[in-house]
Structure 1
Amino acid sequence: MLSGTGGRVGKEGEATDRLQILINICLQRVDTSDPAGQPWREADAWQHRWESLNDADLHRPTQTQSSTTGVRIPGLAGWDGMAEALGSALETPWLDHKHLKSLAVLIDGLGESGLPLEALQVAKRLLYEAEEALPSRATGVLAARHIHAYWTGEAGDRRLARTLTMALAEDCRSSLGADHPLTRLAHLRSAAWMLACSEIAAARRTFRALVEASSENNQITLLARWGGAVALSHVDAEEAADRIAQLLPALKLAYGTHHVLTYSAQMTQVMALHDAGHVIRALRLANPLIESATDNLGIDHPLTLRIRGYHAGLTRELNSRDSLELAEAAHRDCRRTLGDTHPDTLVVANVRAVVLSEYDPRAALALWQELVVHGTHVLGAAHQTSLVIAANLAVAVHELEGPAAARPRYEAVLETQSRILGQDHPDTLNTWNSLAVAVHELEGPAAARPRYEAVLETQSRILGQ
């Protein structure tokens, strides 16, 4: 409509003013509860989007545009804040032997150092020694199984972690009773692993059952309420953000305003608002959150660094040039504090690469190539963070070297995602779609159509129309 204004179709001045008038007229005819109007009620957000459009972008061939849809902007590579809650050594008090407790402390230290594969190896040793020293249904053995199952998932195999934890929940219930903390913790973690495997409905049912089984706001109940909100964000992100807001006073009462868990929950609220399309509202919560976390946890605390990385991704969506500076600063501080290969560094570096890809695609490609090596070495090729990075690298190769070079990369990532995350996981679907685009460009629409249809059918079934 306004492309004749020259240069940038949304350049500041008359073009934006004329569009504002049209939007105001349209908004007067739309009910305030209609979600279709929401993106246009936040003037700063749509004006940033509008003013970033170029005539060249509008006339780019459709297939080239489509290939960019594969770029993952996962914020924190799937992080939902629950790791701080579920990895807090809740089982250690139930270990019945001093040596077993020492191993559990060692496992926690390895986890905090960003060495999940090494933590899993020690967890296997812990389980072996517990089973050798204690009866099979002893509390100490059940606690050791908890630790082993948890680190199985943290090391990358979430589906196996779900299977182990669901079996553990049944054994805890039969040996310790339904109300025992280890039983409830097993159900809580089962729900978390279901969610990680995109079994959203089952996860929501399990979280809800935990909440309904207790009238107290104890630790497990609070975490179940939180998990239920995270699960809901896959279905109704706006409602999920509201539920987290309702939960925050209880978390602050239980843990304190400046506790890691409280900050993590606030971050999940920011992420839910972002997923609901409220970028401005998300930023308004994220800015003071970073300030508070920096003041109370420290600028180099892992959670502060992760929040800073996500914040850089948020600002990117407003086409702010500050986003690259923010991402580079967060990555630099991660490397200085945690090292180049720490999982948190990889997560923040991935955000930096996504932001960098808009300004220097070749430099972003080189960074992703480096991150793939680090991720494979530290986390293994099947870990979700490694898979997100590998998928982003495939898209960068697609953009710079063409679909023929990218296709085998998509296929390799898709095979691992399907096996580890499941065929219905959003990451798997994203890669599946990117592969369909590559096939479209290489072999034409007839070859690509059944792939697009399969992706659409699965998305409709899992995510809803």
Structure 2
Amino acid sequence: MFSRIRRRARINRLPDGVPRQVLALASSLDPDGIPEALFTTAAVTGHLAVGADDVRAALRELHRLRLIKNAPVVRVPLDVRGNAGSFPETVAADALAELWPRTENGPGHARMLRANVAALHTDRLCESGVHRVLFRVTNSLGESGQPAAAIALLERMLDQALTSLGPDHPDVLAIRHNIAYWLGKSGREAAAVGLLTGLLEAEERALGPDHPGPLSTRRTLAELRGDPPEVLETLVADHVRVHGPDHPETFGTRGVLATRRGEDGDPAGAVAEFERLVTDLRRKRGDDDPELLTARGNIALWHAEGGNARRAERIATELLPDVTRVLGPDAVQTLDLRADIARFQGEASGSEDGAARTAAALAGLVPDYRRVLGADHPRTLSLRTDVARWHTASGDRTAGVREYQSVHADLLRVLGPDADETHLALIGARSAAGDLDGMTDALEQVFRRDERLLGADHPDTIAARARLEDWRARLR
């Protein structure tokens, strides 16, 4: 066994050059694994004032001396970590931010990046401004189905940033926005709206109404409240005036407007809005832009919502090779599109045999979702709910009830009793079982939840009350 004494002696003999600094960087990060690509980022090579080949040579030398393990990720033995010296944490954070992909295509790499951020001292990354990697890691947590963890980290960041930056600093206000955003994604819309309403007043006072912060808050508020398309039209116009027509925030807000048109009962209007967005994104960014691919997928979705499932299937099938080529076969967007195609095929068929084929196709995707996202990811659980729904539509109520009950238990454990998906699974299970009294109870639970969380006058509460009253009327 290679002794600690021999390792320490080799550390002491390292010259004050690149190998020693690379070892110090590695020792400041996660002992369970660091992506090798981090060491050749512009942030690291710029700080060391050397080329990427010099850093790779240093890694090979450290591996030869048994001070690191470098296959296939970099690991530092625990007895080395405490003796390797220090490295600027802001440079390490810059390197992690540079390495983070725009679109996370698998849980393993994202988990590794998050673990390496966790190895740094958060308070030091909030001293003169909140480092962008902290915002990236909280978004990654939320997008991976862990909104509670994202909120917990954001709240710690808020405490630290308030002390060092003060309540009106743009980064502090941005943290407050993100806390509210993930609260909304957790099903706590009323709490999120309350926080955002107070935040908007603070942002407009501290930053002015045309700052990106309040514009972003207005968009999140409009989404959570279900504001009519006219409100979002005004917001798009403000984005164009402040940012210009081709700014990412302008494009993003146009996507929200398009979706809102569909949700407001105008699927044709949503299709037209997304088609205009695709034209402008193609002009600005080219055919392979991920946001453009998403917009093309939304065109298919709203064709299906408008009753044209065959056209939706055709559009989605034409899109699939592009999404697979650009994002990869294991990208979440690729998996979601494959699931959408199966759904469109079932809707276009309109038969029990077609529904059975869709149920089988979706069930076949569940292992891929588990492998890529994890068994407890909200998308994986939602897909299983869909499998149950299509089993029921195929006439196989026994399989439908069994799958609904199984996923409902997991949804209760993962998302809690107030999540929409949890209620949908309960309603589906009781409907598939022909439990009429149970259906009434499940629909009343949704209404009472919305009344408690959103208030009696919220559109979702009103809709839930209408569904409950309609169901009761049908039973009379």
Specify if TM > 0.5. yes
Q: Which residue of 2 aligns with 1:205?
A: 194
How far residue 228 of structure 1 moved from its aligned partner, in angstroms, is: 1.0
Q: Which residue of 2 aligns with 1:374?
A: 368
Aligned partner (choices 255, 269, 277) of residue 267 of structure 1: 255
- Does residue 105 (structure 1) correspond to residue 93 (structure 2)? The answer is no
Structure-2 separation of matches of 1:434 and 1:166: 36
How far residue 183 of structure 1 moved from its aligned partner, in angstroms, is: 1.0
- Is the CA contact 1:331–1:352 (under 8 Å) kept in the aligned structure 2? no
Q: Report the residue type matching 1:351 in the other structure.
A: D
- Is the CA contact 1:152–1:161 (under 8 Å) kept in the aligned structure 2? yes
- Is the CA contact 2:130–2:171 (under 8 Å) kept in the aligned structure 1? no
How far residue 464 of structure 1 moved from its aligned partner, in angstroms, is: 1.4
Structure-1 separation of matches of 2:134 and 2:247: 28
Determine helix, strand or coil for the equivalent of 1:424.
coil
Aligned partner (choices 120, 126, 146) of residue 129 of structure 1: 120
* Runs (5+) with no aligned partner, structure 1: 1-94
- Is the CA contact 1:127–1:148 (under 8 Å) kept in the aligned structure 2? no
* Runs (5+) with no aligned partner, structure 2: 1-87, 455-459, 463-476
- Point out the more displaced range, 428-437 or 135-144: 135-144
Q: Which residue of 2 aligns with 1:303?
A: 291
- Is the CA contact 2:375–2:381 (under 8 Å) kept in the aligned structure 1? yes
Aligned partner (choices 409, 417, 421) of residue 415 of structure 2: 421
- Is the CA contact 2:345–2:358 (under 8 Å) kept in the aligned structure 1? yes
Query: Structure 2 length as normaliser, TM-score?
Result: 0.69
Q: Report the residue type matching 1:124 in the other structure.
A: A
Q: Which residue of 2 aligns with 1:278?
A: 266
Structure-2 separation of matches of 1:96 and 1:248: 39
Structure-2 separation of matches of 1:450 and 1:292: 48
Superposition CA RMSD, Å? 2.6
Residues 29-428 of structure 1: matches in 2 within 5 Å? 97-106=90-99, 108-109=100-101, 111-130=102-121, 138-139=127-128, 145-215=134-204, 216=208, 217-233=210-226, 237-238=227-228, 241-320=229-308, 321-358=310-347, 359=349, 360-400=354-394, 402-428=396-422
- Is the CA contact 2:416–2:422 (under 8 Å) kept in the aligned structure 1? yes
How far residue 417 of structure 1 moved from its aligned partner, in angstroms, is: 2.9
Q: Which has the higher contact order (CA 8 A, sep 6+)?
A: 1
How far residue 271 of structure 1 moved from its aligned partner, in angstroms, is: 1.0
Structure-1 separation of matches of 2:190 and 2:257: 20
Query: Structure 1 length as normaliser, TM-score?
Result: 0.70
- Identity %, equivalent residues: 21
- Residues 453, 126 of structure 1: alpha-carbon distance in 2 compared, 3 angstrom cutoff: closer
Q: Report the residue type matching 1:224 in the other structure.
A: T
- Is the CA contact 2:90–2:125 (under 8 Å) kept in the aligned structure 1? no
Q: Report the residue type matching 1:464 in the other structure.
A: T
- Residues 405, 191 of structure 1: alpha-carbon distance in 2 compared, 3 angstrom cutoff: same
Determine helix, strand or coil for the equivalent of 2:376.
coil
Number of residues of Structure 1 aligned to a counterpart in Structure 2: 359
- Residues 333, 130 of structure 1: alpha-carbon distance in 2 compared, 3 angstrom cutoff: same
How far residue 403 of structure 1 moved from its aligned partner, in angstroms, is: 2.3
- Is the CA contact 1:309–1:331 (under 8 Å) kept in the aligned structure 2? no
- Is the CA contact 1:260–1:303 (under 8 Å) kept in the aligned structure 2? no
Larger radius of gyration: 2
Determine helix, strand or coil for the equivalent of 1:214.
helix
- Residues 278, 136 of structure 1: alpha-carbon distance in 2 compared, 3 angstrom cutoff: closer
- Is the CA contact 1:191–1:202 (under 8 Å) kept in the aligned structure 2? yes
Determine helix, strand or coil for the equivalent of 2:168.
coil
Determine helix, strand or coil for the equivalent of 1:164.
helix
How far residue 231 of structure 1 moved from its aligned partner, in angstroms, is: 1.0
- Is the CA contact 1:439–1:448 (under 8 Å) kept in the aligned structure 2? no
Q: Which residue of 1 aligns with 2:468?
A: none
